[in-house]
Amino acid sequence: MSHSSSRPRRHAQPATQAHAQAPQGGRHELGQNFLVDRSVIDDIDGLVARTSGPIVEIGAGEGALTLPLSRHGRPLTAVEIDPKRARRLDGRTPGNVTVVCADILRHRLPQHPHVVVGNIPFHVTTPIVKRLLAADHWHTAVLLVQWEVARRRAGVGGASMLTAAWWPWYEFELRSRVPARSFRPVPSVDGGLLTMRRRTDPPAVERGPYQDFVKQVFTGRGNGLRQILERTGRFDRDALRAWLRHHPAAHRALPKDLTAHQWVSLWQHSGGRHSGGRHGGGSLR
């Protein structure tokens, strides 16, 4: 897509108060490790290309992802916390790109369907992911995060409590491992390319009570899953025995070993309340 030099220049929006107070001395102060590996950039660009709708980029930096993404011609909001980099990027982007100088944890996300993409600063990965999971309207997120975080979010080697708490509403997929040498400065750990997709037909589960249940099971004490579940006081003994018969591997499992389907099934066997919304009867897909 061509970029006309006569296009009126847009100015990056002012920083929030929290951003203005942040040290601006360099990359490490902002937790930034910039992506320089062209193959990884192409992978991320390819994943976004399979989606539709406006794009919101987290941590645009010097534009390593912004510029390739801008060539799709879709509306793109590039959020960058560093005012100097935001101003420089604003001068290099075509008309379909709006550069916003803001903290993504405070920036208001669009109130219409959109895609989220970004090379996430490792030290704020969990707050950003939590914010996205609680937000409405976006349908796909393509995120470059710390390798172990990507694995846990996708349930590889055992899911985290956060993943289990949101599995009825989102699909998490680990796409690839990204070597530390793909960044500048080089971090001490590798990155992982993670996709999160909102389920189009989630099961009819009440979010608050279900997430309380997941927390109770994850933090419960016991020698194995059966004992943990018995001590929650939520299960009729016959109902629990029947569930374990249908899931024999769960006898030797811990909460982190359960799948998305098993969590919802377990919640239903506990007598958990179900919402009567339009998605009633939906299944995990």
Q: What is the pLDDT of residues 61-118, one digit of tens each?
A: 999 999 999 999 999 999 999 999 999 999 999 999 999 999 999 999 999 999 999 9
Q: What is the pLDDT of residues 204-235, one digit of tens each?
A: 889 999 999 999 999 999 988 999 999 999 99
CA distances from 253 to 117, 126, 177, 220 (A): 34, 26, 27, 14
- Cα–Cα distance, 57 to 63 (Å, whole number): 10
Which residue type sits at 48? V
DSSP string covering 184-210, please?
ESPPSS-EEEEEEEE-SS--S--HHHH
Q: What is the pLDDT of residues 22-56, one digit of tens each?
A: 333 334 445 679 999 999 999 999 999 999 999 99
Beta strands in the chain (DSSP E): 34-35, 55-58, 76-80, 97-101, 114-119, 138-146, 170-178, 183-184, 191-198
Cα torsion for 207, 208, 210, 216, to the nearest 10°? 150
